[in-house]
């Protein structure tokens, strides 16, 4: 058994439970640890930590419905999903969105489409072409 920690990412969020629910249901991530200020989820070889924005900063942030996209960041997460069409439905149910099928594109064995989580973080979702 390897003692190497998993690679992953940290997403800072105002509502950590809402954001964690989104990634759990869209990306098949499993909750492995939770405290009042962070939630740790894993799937395959990746770990995603949803970390609370400090309260003094969070109270200055308004999350619109739908959220304003946080596009001015140099990093975009991407996750594999079993089915983009189903992920599109789930994203809407859990507070995010995936662009329409007309915005999908293909590369290197997958079909991809961008979307966003409940707080406006831009995320790309990928389905293996072998499952289409």
Give the SS3 label for residue 63. Answer: coil
Q: What is the pTM of this model?
A: 0.92
Place of tokens 């499993």: 30
Residue 1 resides in a domain: no
pLDDT (0 to 100) of residue 4 = 83
pLDDT (0 to 100) of residue 2 = 65
Q: At 87, which CATH number?
A: 3.10.180.10
pLDDT (0 to 100) of residue 61 = 92
Residue range of the domain that includes 18: 7-131
In which residue ranges of the chain is pLDDT below 70?
1-2
pLDDT (0 to 100) of residue 1 = 56
Q: Total structural domains in the chain?
A: 1
Residue 23 resides in a domain: yes
């Amino acid at each position: 058994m390897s003692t190497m920690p998993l690679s992953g990412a940290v997403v800072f969020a105002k509502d950590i439970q809402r954001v964690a629910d989104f990634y759990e249901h869209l990306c098949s991530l499993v909750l492995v640890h939770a405290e009042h200020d962070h939630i740790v989820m894993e799937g395959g070889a990746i770990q995603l930590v949803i970390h609370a924005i400090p309260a003094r900063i969070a109270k200055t942030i308004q999350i619109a419905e739908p959220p304003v996209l946080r596009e001015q960041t140099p990093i975009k997460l991407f996750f594999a999903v079993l089915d983009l069409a189903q992920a599109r439905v789930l994203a809407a149910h859990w507070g995010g969105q995936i662009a329409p099928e007309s915005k999908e594109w293909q590369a290197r064995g997958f079909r991809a489409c961008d979307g966003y989580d409940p707080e406006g973080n831009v995320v790309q979702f990928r389905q293996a072409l072998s499952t289409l």
